Amino acid sequence: MAFYNGARVVALLLLVSTAARAAGDGLLLNGNFEYQPNKSQMNGTRVMAEYAIPYWKITGFVEYISSGQKQSDMLLTVPEGAHAVRLGNEASIQQQISVTRVMYYSITFSAARTCAQSEKLNVSVAPGPESGELPIQTVYTSSGWDSYAWAFKAKRGLVSLIIHNHGEDDDPACGPLIDSVAIKTLYPPQATQSNMLKNGDFEEGPYMFPNAPWGVMVPPISEDDHSPLPGWMVMSDTKAVKCVDSAHYAVPHGARAVELVSGLETALMQEVRTVPGRSYRLEFSVGDAGDGCLGSMQVKGYAGQGCTTVTYNSQGTGGHTRASLEFAAVADTTRVVFVSSTYTTKWDGTLCGPVVDDASLVCVSQQQPPARRLLRL
């Protein structure tokens, strides 16, 4: 700071305050690609110049797609507005965004797989080093468009968000379609005395489009502090869990819950600091999201060496049951895990499952008086 004179400090402060404003929750500038490139910078659907799409920079084979456009015998649709982009092999789109240093952000975007089989998208922010590989081969909606979330911690006030398709398909026109890129500041909740689970009610999470009734997928994430679902990890190879909101779904408590849509292939997990020998109680709700997901569902809740199985019979119209598990900690960290042991699909063939919500963990042992603990040592 000694290098800065007064004026530069003022300028810096101004910059910080505009940055905070610029990073409001919602679509990025031209995040839905509705501002079109100039025809002179296109060859057919291919975008020919780096800065042709307003507010974006592109690299590689990027196509500008209009809703209703045909590809072989496939009619392309767009989830929001009338336009989207397609990323060919090694193609990327990027945008500079103003953020607040050290804050956490979640990015939500919609993606649709086209002809390639095992597609992944690489999302990163530069300057790095944060990046993630999002598997998008599983389709969770009948439209083919799913919204995905990814999160990062801002290391600078100005970062570039990059969505890159590594891709290895012979046909560059088989790359994924991207639309509706949005950002949301995350305020990761802390554990408290009354709930040792962070974000146990799943209220903090990714940006959800107000007009998108299909939820937001949280792909595998094995670090809790960079999770778009703060506090929680999603343990899976390629499958995701779905954040659902009360505006479009039945949610047991508060405004959000998590739908376990991929059976045994995905576990929702949180690590909690515990004291070996002490007793704890885990409570949570299991229900259905009111999205027509019918049948007998089963959620297993694990904590340390304890396990409870909750059976819930879904009519597909919303509702839930409460479950409880008491256990003694055997280590100084205990994993709390929720897994759906059933695979369920809706009438349209899309994956669905039970919702988990309102989870809490409390210590139920009598606190030992400090003197006695000292004596034992």
Q: Which one of 35-43, 198-206, 253-261, 334-342 is the stretch in contact with ligand NAG (CB under 6 A)?
A: 35-43
Q: Which amino acid is at 25?
A: D
Our finding on whether 5 is near ligand NAG (CB under 6 A) is no
- Measured from the CB atom, the residue of 60 and 144 that comes closer to ligand NAG is 60
Look up residue 328 and give its two tokens: 């003694």
Look up residue 255 and give its two tokens: 């405004």
Whether the CB-CB separation of 229 and 206 falls below 8 Å is answered with yes
Least CB distance to ligand NAG at residue 181 (A): 17
Whether the CB-CB separation of 154 and 105 falls below 8 Å is answered with yes
Q: Which amino acid is at 112?
A: A
Our finding on whether 271 is near ligand NAG (CB under 6 A) is no
CA atoms of 377 and 193, how far apart (whole Å): 26
Cis peptide before 127 (omega within 30 of 0): yes
Our finding on whether 43 is near ligand NAG (CB under 6 A) is yes
- Measured from the CB atom, the residue of 133 and 271 that comes closer to ligand NAG is 133
Q: Which residues pair with 63 in a beta bridge?
A: 46, 86
CA atoms of 35 and 29, how far apart (whole Å): 10
- Measured from the CB atom, the residue of 19 and 159 that comes closer to ligand NAG is 159
Least CB distance to ligand NAG at residue 31 (A): 20
SS3 call for 19 = helix
Among 113, 164, 184, 226, binds ligand NAG (CB under 6 A): 164
Least CB distance to ligand NAG at residue 365 (A): 42
Among 122, 246, 308, 341, binds ligand NAG (CB under 6 A): 122
Whether the CB-CB separation of 108 and 32 falls below 8 Å is answered with no
Sign of CA dihedral 343, 349, 351, 355: negative
Residues 311-350 that bind ligand NAG (CB under 6 A): none
Q: Which one of 38-46, 53-61, 100-108, 350-358 is the stretch in contact with ligand NAG (CB under 6 A)?
A: 38-46
Q: Which residues pair with 94 in a beta bridge?
A: 57, 162
CA atoms of 23 and 27, how far apart (whole Å): 10
Among 59, 131, 185, 341, binds ligand NAG (CB under 6 A): 131
Least CB distance to ligand NAG at residue 351 (A): 25
- Measured from the CB atom, the residue of 220 and 231 that comes closer to ligand NAG is 220
221 DSSP 8-state letter: B
Q: Which one of 36-44, 253-261, 313-321, 356-364 is the stretch in contact with ligand NAG (CB under 6 A)?
A: 36-44
Least CB distance to ligand NAG at residue 257 (A): 29
Q: Which one of 37-45, 69-77, 184-192, 355-363 is the stretch in contact with ligand NAG (CB under 6 A)?
A: 37-45
Q: Which residues pair with 74 in a beta bridge?
A: 71
Least CB distance to ligand NAG at residue 166 (A): 7
- Measured from the CB atom, the residue of 52 and 323 that comes closer to ligand NAG is 52
Our finding on whether 124 is near ligand NAG (CB under 6 A) is yes
Nearest to 94 by CA among 48, 125, 134, 136: 125
Our finding on whether 38 is near ligand NAG (CB under 6 A) is yes
28 dihedral zone (left: phi>0; alpha: psi -120 to 50; beta): beta
Among 34, 90, 133, 224, binds ligand NAG (CB under 6 A): 133
Residues touching ligand NAG: how many (CB under 6 A)?
A: 8
Q: Exposed, middle or buried, 182 (CB in 10 Å: 0-12/13-18/19+)?
A: buried
Residues that bind ligand NAG (CB under 6 A): 38, 40, 43, 122, 124, 131, 133, 164
